[in-house]
Amino acid sequence: MGPIGSVMPELSFVNRLAAYVRFFHSSIDTEPFHIYVNGRLTVSYLDYGSFSGYFVFFPGTYSIVIYRARNTKVPILNTRITVQKNMVYTAAIMGTPAFHSLELIGARKQEVPHDQARIRFIHLASNTPAVDVMVDGQTLYSNLMYTDATEYFILAPGIHSIILKRNNSSIFLFDEPKASLRSGSLTGVYLISKRDKSSVPDVIFSNEMPFSLN
């Protein structure tokens, strides 16, 4: 059985035991990808640094086959993933033009109170060393390494300063003094490699709330 399709808000209530899965192109191979789930074309032309929409999956194991959009005869990746109920996943396509992998980054479905904002950090930049995460001048997490993902941290909604620097160093890799976190939001901060393959990552803020809480 394949995914139901892109999530509409009401599906979260119909499928309380299902999982939500989206795909993220974080590979240094910057060509767009086509993604097949159980033999069905599910995502077309997924660009580098882009997320698909969320799809509803029932618990179980799924075949994932990924092609470069310009060549659908030879897959770059043929693998399987197993999803569990009540989980939200980002399936990150990682690697280089010579070798690709699929990293399943999961968290339990959660509702966020209106007096909170929750944020986590995911390191998918293969050319970037381990980083320390600072929020509002305080170290929130140390030594975040490639393929690591933090848990969600609870912050107050509003404007925050977010700095990423090399572990045990004063070298800043990212500095955002006015990151806005909405009330009741779930945010993922993704580090991916730049197209020029420098050690300074691109940083993408992503809404990780796949369903309506209204």
d(C-alpha 192, C-alpha 51), whole Å: 13
What residue ranges define each of the domains in the chain, with the CATH number in brackets?
Answer: 1-109 (2.60.40), 112-214 (2.60.40)
* Bridge partners (DSSP) listed for residue 86: none
What's the pTM? 0.89
Query: Is the confidence at residue 8, as pLDDT, over 60?
Result: no
Helix (H/G/I), strand (E/B), else coil: 8: coil
Helix (H/G/I), strand (E/B), else coil: 136: coil
The 10s digit of each residue's pLDDT in 150-167 is 999 999 999 999 999 999
| pLDDT at position 60 | 94
Spell out the residues 6+ positions from residue 23 whose beta carbon is closer than 8 angstroms to its own. Answer: 35, 43, 46, 51, 52, 90, 91, 92, 93
d(C-alpha 122, C-alpha 92), whole Å: 10
Average pLDDT over residues 130-140: 97
65 phi/psi in degrees, rounded to 5: -125, 130
| pLDDT at position 35 | 97
The 10s digit of each residue's pLDDT in 15-63 is 567 899 999 999 887 789 999 999 999 999 999 999 999 999 999 999 9
